[in-house]
Amino acid sequence: MKARYEDWTPGPDAVAIIGQATAICQGYARQGYDLTLRQLYYQFVARALIPNTMQSYKRLGSIINKARLAGLLDWDYIVDRTRNLEHNSHWDTPADIMAGAAASYRRDKWEDQPTRVEVWVEKDALSGVVGRVADREDVAWFACRGYVSQSELWAAGQRIYGYLLDDQDVVVLHLGDHDPSGIDMTRDIEDRLRLFVGHRASGLEVRRIALNMDQVEQYNPPPNPAKLTDSRVGNYLIQHGDQSWELDALEPTVLAALITDHIGEVRDRDLYDAAEDVEAAHRELLAAASQRWPEVADLVGETR
């Protein structure tokens, strides 16, 4: 929605940027995606609308902020995925929660699969893209926010060890920036997870699915200078040169397709379809109970 809080008359350059931003955001909204400011910025850079500089990023942010306050750009197009209000859920009647339970009821459709999948992404800002795909495919996902803390990785190791004890292999799909630290994070995750799962480590695979050099060459995201102050830059310069690329620069649809394809490679489709059939039957049962709630309540009251 648009809402006007301040008066602002943009100049011709700003008007053009607002129009371009609107067109980009509307295109993604039609596909069900919203964007962070940084993702929008990379869409501008990829379309050669602005140069890839910190000055350009700050100017775009300023124009977007003013445009939203002036009622010129929809507030729903740009999101901040790192700050969210938490609250309890509420319902007006027991029938409402039964209906909600029917709509949200999910079985663990990977319980009988020979291999489990988790999706880990370096940046919380991409949780909207990753979470949407992972939820649809019923796999767990995790925003690492850089290098994962020892506590969180130990907890992940214990969770994965439990799967391995149940004779399920585990594949962790990792997505990160193509820069010295971003690439090293995949190595770090695998090393520490293998440490924590111990003798069961042969059933674990950590698979880096983005951002890789073949994807850089295919999609041509805008480059950034490699951070020479990064302690891991030495080997990176030898292998990849002095440029780096951010995961945010890939279009959400590309990221979604990558995750979906890799999940599909691991999943036993027949077992998954059977689990979906059971889930649908249970959901129908809950929906029927919600629609006949007065009868259910009377029955429960009679048996108390």
Position 304 scores a pLDDT of 56
Over residues 63-75, the mean pLDDT reads: 96
Six-digit token string for 238: 């030898």
pLDDT in tens, 102-135: 888 999 999 999 999 999 999 988 988 999 999 9
Does position 300 have pLDDT exceeding 80, yes or no? no
- Band (pLDDT 50/70/90 cuts) for residue 302 is low
Average pLDDT, the chain: 93
Q: How far apart are CA 4 and CA 150, in angstroms?
A: 46
Position 244 scores a pLDDT of 95
Q: Are strands 115-121 and 169-175 parallel, antiparallel or unpaired?
A: parallel
pLDDT in tens, 138-192: 999 999 999 999 999 999 999 999 999 999 999 999 999 999 999 999 999 999 9
- Residues 6 or more apart whose Cβ sits within 8 Å of residue 147: 181, 185, 188
Does position 301 have pLDDT exceeding 80, yes or no? no
Does position 224 have pLDDT exceeding 80, yes or no? yes
Does position 64 have pLDDT exceeding 90, yes or no? yes
Q: Do 188 and 153 form a contact (C-beta atoms < 8 A)?
A: no
The domain locations on the chain are 12-77, 114-267
Beta partners for residue 116, in sequence order: 170
- Residues 6 or more apart whose Cβ sits within 8 Å of residue 79: 34, 35, 36, 128
Tell me the CA distances in angstroms from 34 to 73, 86, 186, 224, 257, one per residue in order. 13, 20, 27, 24, 17
Does position 97 have pLDDT exceeding 90, yes or no? no
Position 228 scores a pLDDT of 87
Q: How far apart are CA 296 and CA 221, in angstroms?
A: 57
177: nearest Cα among 147, 205, 152, 154? 147
Does position 13 have pLDDT exceeding 60, yes or no? yes
Q: Is the dihedral of CA 28, 32, 36, 42 positive or negative?
A: negative
Does position 26 have pLDDT exceeding 90, yes or no? yes
Which top CATH class is 114-267?
alpha beta
